[in-house]
Structure 1
Amino acid sequence: MDLPRHFVIRESGHRIHNPFSPEKLAILGRALGLTPGTTALDLASGSGEMLCTWARDHGLTGTGVDISTVFTAAAQARAADLGVADRVRFEHGDAAGHVAAEPVDLAACIGATWIGNGVAGTVELLQRSLRPGGLMLIGEPYWRIDPPDQETVEANHTASKDDFRALPELLEQFGDLGYDVVEMVLADQDSWDRYSGAQWLSIRRWLDENPDDELAESFRAELRDGPARYARFRREYLGWGVFALMRR
């Protein structure tokens, strides 16, 4: 049980595996008014940057669960580096279906709603771990601009335009599910540039060290075509944000 190797290689230079900068992650933590002792569960926690930095900055405690052995190890190392290994722990496992042993103050899934087969299922999953009155965090893409054709849709790694919503419709969806949106922090184009650019650099460095690997040909094609495709099909069209919800 692990992430595909090509995904891990592509994101090997990331601490945040989404188009979200450290500054925006910090803004979100401050906006939520987190207090020492806040308990959290982060499903698909990646390299653990959210839990680790919020433990350092706000005294949060909690658990992250991720399917990647590499990212889980990176999260554990990050917790040790920041001196918060006694407050946050990271488990290698399938986040889909994971429920906390005890209700938590904050339950999150940042950019991985496939663990619940979409937004609605992920909201339902997180709610099972959340105490009454707790905060839920969902990270999710949305269309900044209506995609003009199927090529644009597929370039954003989805088969149908309807797989993502425009921002107003996404916010309405949360309401239809019975939740108030109480805060949001949105990525911007610079966030996307930093996220995508780090992938290109990681791929190039990996290719220089592994020119004969079985993945090398596909990575060379990605590096050749990817930057222009990103600028043409993603940078203008796809938004991304983290949304804080409270159950009505």
Structure 2
Amino acid sequence: MDLPRSFTIRESSHRVCNPFTSEKLAILGQAISPSPGARMLDLACGKGEMLCTWARDHGVAGTGVDISTVFLEAARARAVELSVADRVGFVHADASGHVADDPVDIAACVGATWIGSGVAGTVELLRRSLVPGGMMLIGEPYWRREPEDQATVEGCHLARKDDLLPLPELLEQFGALGCDVVEMVLADQDSWDRYVAAQWLNTRRWLDANPDDELADELRAELAAGPAQHARYQREYLGWGVFVLMDR
């Protein structure tokens, strides 16, 4: 049980494995201002940057769950680096069925709502781990601009236009699920550039070091097409944000 190697190659230098910069992550923490000692569960936590930096900056404690052994190794190293390994821990598991043993104050799934087969299922999964009055953090893309054709949809790595909603409709969906949206921090085009362009450099460095690897042809083709595809489609049409929800 692990992520395909291509994911860890593309994101080898990333601390935040989504189009959120470290600055945006810090803004989100400042916005919700968790109390020292608040307990947190982060499903599909990636390299654990949110848990580790919030443990350092806000005194939270908690657990991250992820399927990637490579990402979890980085998360544990980051916890040691920030001197928070006594407050945060990481579990190698499929986050799609994970519920906290004891209810937590903050339950998060930032950029991986496929673990609940979409937004609705992920909200329901996070609810199962929350104390009354707790907060859910959902990271989710949305249409920044409505795509005009199927080529644009596929250029954004999606199969159907209906796979995403425009931002107002996404916010309404949270309401229909019985949640109040109490905060949001949105990525911008620069955030997307930092996330995606770092993947290009990681890929190029890996290709230079591994020209004969079985993945080399696939990643070479991806790198050749990626920058123009990003500029034409993803940068213009895709938004992304983290939404803070509380049950009504």
| TM-score of Structure 1 vs Structure 2, range by shorter chain | over 0.9
Equivalent position of 2:208 in the other structure: 208
Equivalent position of 1:157 in the other structure: 157
The amino acid across from 1:83 in the alignment is S
CA deviation vs aligned residue, 1:132-178 (integer Å, no higher than 9, x gap): 00000000000000011101111212111001000000000000000
Q: Provide the TM-score with structure 2 as the length reference.
A: 0.99
> Counterparts of 1:85-164 in structure 2 under 5 Å?
85-164=85-164
C-alpha distance in 1, partners of 2:154/2:8? 21
Matched, 1:74 2:74: yes
CA deviation vs aligned residue, 1:99-142 (integer Å, no higher than 9, x gap): 00000000000000000000000000000000000000000000
Q: Number of aligned residue pairs: give it.
A: 248
Equivalent position of 1:192 in the other structure: 192
The amino acid across from 1:239 in the alignment is G
The amino acid across from 2:84 in the alignment is V
> Counterparts of 1:228-247 in structure 2 under 5 Å?
228-247=228-247
The amino acid across from 2:179 in the alignment is Y
C-alpha distance in 1, partners of 2:157/2:6? 15
C-alpha distance in 1, partners of 2:159/2:193? 23
Moved over 4 A (4+): none
The amino acid across from 1:216 in the alignment is A
The amino acid across from 2:63 in the alignment is T
Cα-Cα RMSD? 0.5
The amino acid across from 2:232 in the alignment is R
Equivalent position of 2:45 in the other structure: 45
C-alpha distance in 1, partners of 2:215/2:148? 32
C-alpha distance in 1, partners of 2:85/2:211? 37
Shift of 1:42: 0.2
Shift of 1:18: 0.3
Q: Which runs of 5+ in 1 are unaligned?
A: none
Q: Provide the TM-score with structure 1 as the length reference.
A: 0.99
SS of residue matched to 1:202: helix
C-alpha distance in 2, partners of 1:149/1:12? 33
Q: Which runs of 5+ in 2 are unaligned?
A: none
The amino acid across from 1:59 in the alignment is G
Shift of 1:35: 1.3
Shift of 1:34: 1.1
CA deviation vs aligned residue, 1:1-35 (integer Å, no higher than 9, x gap): 00011111111111100000000000000000211
> Counterparts of 1:170-189 in structure 2 under 5 Å?
170-189=170-189
C-alpha distance in 1, partners of 2:38/2:151? 44
